[in-house]
Structure 1
């Protein structure tokens, strides 16, 4: 990209790095600016495994959606904190398995909004929608999804790498509870979250640098804090693990400092 764009939501900031664009850079995408690449390279210099984290998180999404759309039989997905589209987005994976799947993406990043058209594709049998909304305001999200999702039927709620931008843990838990209270028994919650555990101690310096030079600010959480998001849900095997090792079939040789887990609502 060569310059700022007008999204109708305000001008995209090209003078400060933004998570969606830096994450896109780490995944090998092209939807980023020089400042994003500079900050991304600085973070990588301080925490060399960050690229592995980004790729492991994306691979986790694929395995989770394959399972939920496949053996679990889920046909509705609510993906909060979509980020920029790359390869094998939620709707592509779900509709490949079950063409009638319905997917709603949620994000409030103006650059993601400009790329929403790339997400708004669907099989003839299914449906894909994009909602411009803030994860901090779950009631707004729940009202908007009713156009596409039937909240009386099970929904897979995907919140990958998004709660780390909600700095207050009580607020983050409240957001999760509000969304999961609105979906019925048989629904699922899939989460990933960075941590200073799992060998991620070296990420503390990189996170501090990020919070001084990029947006939005980020926080890590412990295993116990991460587990709190699944209160009242039944964790699927293998429970809380590095997202790289969630049902990877033993293929993963590198453990990343990013928790991953999936829970089912009773």
Structure 2
């Protein structure tokens, strides 16, 4: 049990932390303004800003004098299948060495041989133009292992990928060097909420936000007008920079993945109690 001062201090700290991410997004939304980097986590993932802002201490923790403050005891039991699935995916991913040779070409494959009207972020130009972008994809070796990135490939790009990832094959394919697998730690964390502490969800959000920045800096889009200098993965120097950043994110992701696995183990053990 937490005393009220500790409870309120943690809640205020969490709200202040996430407001720095949420408030600018909500202001842009009111203006009808889109941002391909800063808005992504709020538009691609299903967790809404108000949910991210809501503080919860995690399963088994409550406020002194308030029996209803803790997460409902039955919630752990009801979520056992989902918890087991998430735990299995996280553990399988953690068991593999990171592969760092994709060079962020997934974003390029998502616009391969598209017309300007078809391109998702067509408010921003392609750095190399359509023909130059297509040439990089055709000359590169696509090796994306993450289904939720691969499924956005254009139809002509899919046969060029070394693997053909599927939803059912996630446990067999995901690896800790993948930017999207590490970004998805945020998704796994919020799907475990409110059983995991809100601070852990926010830690995963912060990681995913930083990864998205690299993702778009290494993309074919010219985002210099938004203040993002490109990581030119079409060059030897750019690929080296990308691999270095990718390795850093793999290292940052490892302890968060371990924390989520530990939380899943705790919940699964709670579900076994008579």
**Do the two structures share a fold, i.e. TM-score over 0.5?**
no
More helix by share: 2
TM-score normalised to structure 1 length: 0.25
More strand by share: 1
TM-score normalised to structure 2 length: 0.24
- Structure (1 or 2) with the larger CA radius of gyration: 2
